[in-house]
Chains A and B, each alone.
Chain A
Amino acid sequence: MAAENSKQFWKRSAKLPGSIQPVYGAQHPPLDPRLTKNFIKERSKVNAIPLKNKKASSFHEFARNTSDAWDIGDDEEEDFSSPSFQTLNSKVALATAAQVLENHSKLRLKPERSQSTTSDVPASYKVIKSSSDAQLSRNSSDTCLRNTLHKQQSLPLRPIIPLVARISDQNASGAPPMTVREKTRLEKFRQLLSSHNTDLDELRKCSWPGVPREVRPVTWRLLSGYLPANTERRKLTLQRKREEYFGFIEQYYDSRNEEHHQDTYRQIHIDIPRTNPLIPLFQQPLVQEIFERILFIWAIRHPASGYVQGINDLVTPFFVVFLSEYVEEDVENFDVTNLSQDMLRSIEADSFWCMSKLLDGIQDNYTFAQPGIQKKVKWRKEILDEEDFQGLLMLLQNLPTIHWGNEEIGLLLAEAYRLKYMFADAPNHYRR
């Protein structure tokens, strides 16, 4: 009877553990038939442009193209102790990856919902490929476009969508109506934030799945350690810290042209136009000046590190989040000249302090010889050396339970309970 039951049970969950399912991540949410229809219409309007995947057509191809990346690196530390095991593993992993991708691309071929999720991104981003193609053919003849006007149309070297998506997330407009769960969460945040002494541990816990947009700026200020937990002290602290920052500016900013700061200032200057080059917000002189001041002041106050490429990108999220306190609509295209001097100063000072707090914890990524990075690389190498790592990753990306609903979970629970009950008097059966 029991055996029969469990047989049935396992039959019901048609997806066998480890079977290959399409990957649904943030970029590839489950298909929604309601949206599919609209999207097809929309696509045909855009004139069926071969979207982004034209080049790196598949992971399989990518894997094939790069599988020899380390071939000639006859590293001394290479481990040949278990070559057969490793080859077997990578073969299996590759085959699995190929299958995943095949399934995946089949799905994508049809409705391409993954593209439609970026619908809150301005239209220019959607047709990026085509416009840059067109631009390229022109470029290759003689016209060189090095001005900001065209920046929006060119492709970034690295994927920029996550950033865009994050910024869109800052936009109040166009956000879907809140679910009950989201409302409850927001309420919980509001409660925590307004209590006399905010419980930071609790706030941190609540923040783990993401901070609601409405309370994000204040939550970030609190969790970064910039703002005190005590509500009464907050206003004064903010005021004092903002004054302190502008005191630094007064004191040090003029020194940017002095000989001993030349290298720092030059490097910042090179990197500012390269910060989020595709987002209009960051091409505005006022915004670039803010970044320049923040980075310069931080750099000269932290001589062990100074300004290091990449730190510029750490200002961005803070800047966007604090800007969002004053901007209702599309943050990416917002013209900051619409803000008062006071608002801009608050955004700048808060971005500076929060970025400083963040960097306090990761400064060894930026000091001489970058020990922080080296340590992390070593740690990752160790992970990758573990044989089961790839398999584990595959499993996590394709959890066999991904489509489970209440029914399946209920069944599993019932089954577990039944087994537990059955062996309640014979706990030794659990061992081994």
Chain B
Amino acid sequence: MAKQYDVLFRLLLIGDSGVGKTCLLCRFTDNEFHSSHISTIGVDFKMKTIEVDGIKVRIQIWDTAGQERYQTITKQYYRRAQGIFLVYDISSERSYQHIMKWVSDVDEYAPEGVQKILIGNKADEEQKRQVGREQGQQLAKEYGMDFYETSACTNLNIKESFTRLTELVLQAHRKELDGVRTRASNEMALAELEEDESKPEGPANSSKTCWC
């Protein structure tokens, strides 16, 4: 049976406890929103295949526990991520302040060249807002990240942000592939291409030669 995607990679959701990481994930993969999730213990994941630039991208999204105690475990997953969502809650100044700490963790534990994107979630809770949109933009700019304010509840910018990070990861790896390949390509841990010979020609198939 042919695989149903051309490329497979991992995204990771990190951020303080209760900012809505699990809600973002469920909205994106299942288009569902539940006001009350149980807290994530350790690590969980979901998968979804999306098409970007004609490439079927299978993304595994790893959802992590936000509490500090779990970080010994969650950090073990940074290493294998190609893209990372840094999530804060716009109604929690504290969760925004902590982004700094999350970024430094990423710098320390994630592979070089990992793509990052900043998310200010719970954008629907305007009355409780503690973090201005500009603050988010500012921080994202400082770190050279893209920024989205999202709401898993109203389905605001969910698809957009996930697609954007996916694009960034694709781009990042294309660049590397176009340049001189000093490292073994599988070190990038990016592509798992199908071995289906009968597949018609297409952008995915032509990329096969360089992404294996």
Contact = CB atoms under 8 A, between A and B. Distances in A.
Interface of A: 55, 65-66, 68-69, 71-74, 132, 136, 139-140, 142, 144-147, 150-151, 154-158, 267, 270-271, 273-278, 306, 308-310, 312-313, 366, 368-370, 373-374
Contacts of A313: 38
Contact of B45 (A69, A140, A154, A267): A69
Contact of A370 (B34, B35, B70): B70
26 contacts: A65-B47, A66-B47, A68-B8, A69-B45, A72-B9, A72-B80, A72-B190, A72-B192, A145-B35, A146-B153, A154-B36, A155-B32, A156-B37, A156-B38, A157-B26, A267-B17, A274-B37, A274-B39, A277-B38, A306-B69, A308-B69, A308-B70, A309-B39, A369-B72, A370-B73, A373-B42
Contact of B34 (A132, A273, A275, A306): A132
Contacts of B22: 157
B163 interface: no
Enumerate the 3 nearest inter-chain pairs by beta-carbon distance, A residue then B residue, closest first.
A277-B36, A154-B34, A369-B72
A131 to B, nearest CB: 12
A68 B192 contact: yes
B58 interface: yes
A338 B153 CA distance: 36
Interface residues of B, number: 41
B177 to A, nearest CB: 16
A83 B25 CA distance: 34
Nearest to A154: B34
Interface in B1-50: 3, 8-10, 17-18, 22, 26, 30-42, 45, 47
Nearest to B35: A146
B111 to A, nearest CB: 12
B72 A155 contact: no
Select the residue from B22, B26, B33, B189 with max chain A CB neighbours within 10 A.
B33
Given A71-B8, A136-B31, A155-B32, A267 B67 contact: yes
Contact of B17 (A69, A273, A309, A374): A309
Given A66-B47, A72-B80, A140 B31 contact: yes
A368 B72 CA distance: 8
B124 interface: yes
A275 B41 CA distance: 13
Nearest to B82: A72
A71 B193 CA distance: 11
A157 B37 contact: yes
Contacts of A366: 69
Contacts of B60: 69
A74 B186 contact: yes
B97 interface: no
A142 B38 contact: no
Nearest to A369: B72
B34 A155 contact: yes
B153 A144 contact: yes
Given A136-B33, A366-B69, A310 B39 contact: yes
A339 B165 CA distance: 53
A139 B35 CA distance: 11
B155 interface: yes
A312 B39 CA distance: 10
Contacts of B3: 68
Contact of A271 (B30, B31, B33, B39): B39
Contacts of B31: 136, 140
Given A72-B9, A370-B72, A156 B34 contact: yes
Interface in B154-212: 154-155, 186, 189-190, 192
